[in-house]
A = this chain, B = another copy of it.
């Protein structure tokens, strides 16, 4: 501690042990004890994040030959080994059938009560081992299934609507995909509200549109609040 030179000669300033700048009473923050405590808390939180990331990496059902990097944030392809059910995207009225998206009954049933009901009861889906999904592109369906296996929301703004609809339809526990789709949509609100899909969705699923607008509004409020507080500090 070499504070003698400055602090003792000028009793009104102190040296910040974080940024090493001098400060006076009006810019005073915490005492050393509270600083140490906050540091320990931050270490604990970082350790918890490491542990949770390791759990997420462990729980992803993925297919890479070398096991997933614990700390990778890139989306991993979901595992299609030992598939026992296929999903087929039926987009509009176009003729050519889309490629099948392989999946597992256990995973679909665990993620969505709608899939579970389809697969457990004597319905066409459980007999044929094929689940047909209307009004969705192959790419969006694949991104949705990948999300169910890995929790990676790896999709572009064109898929965001379809995914939102899929999440609502099949997935009552869809916090993550809902948030990711909504943030993708709200970021592109100006462009997207003019698109045909938006108008269609308004007709078919008005409560989703309400959710989109609410998310967009709450984002604007949050952004404003952040700007406000960052200007203050």
Contact = CB atoms under 8 A, between A and B. Distances in A.
Interface of A: 1, 3, 7-8, 11-12, 14-19, 21, 23, 25-36, 38, 41-42, 45-46, 48-49, 51-56, 58-63, 67, 70, 79, 81-84, 104-107, 109-111, 113, 116, 119-120, 150-151, 172-173, 175-176, 233
Nearest to A16: B31
B56 A56 contact: yes
Given A19-B34, A81-B110, A83-B106, 18 more contacts: A3-B25, A3-B28, A7-B25, A7-B28, A8-B25, A16-B29, A29-B33, A30-B30, A33-B233, A38-B42, A41-B42, A56-B59, A58-B151, A58-B175, A63-B110, A67-B173, A82-B104, A104-B104
Given A55-B151, A151-B58, A31 B32 contact: no
A199 to B, nearest CB: 32
Given A33-B19, A110-B62, A52 B49 contact: yes
29 contacts: A7-B25, A7-B28, A11-B12, A14-B14, A14-B31, A23-B31, A23-B32, A28-B31, A28-B32, A29-B30, A29-B32, A29-B33, A30-B30, A36-B233, A41-B42, A42-B42, A42-B45, A52-B56, A55-B176, A58-B151, A58-B173, A58-B175, A59-B59, A59-B60, A59-B151, A67-B173, A82-B104, A84-B84, A104-B104
A81 B52 contact: no
Contacts of A14: 14, 25, 28, 31
Can you tell how many copies of this chain the complex includes? Answer: 2
Nearest to A29: B35
Interface of A is mostly: helix
A147 B75 CA distance: 23
Contact of A34 (B16, B52, B55, B56): B16
A53 to B, nearest CB: 6
Contacts of A11: 11-12, 25
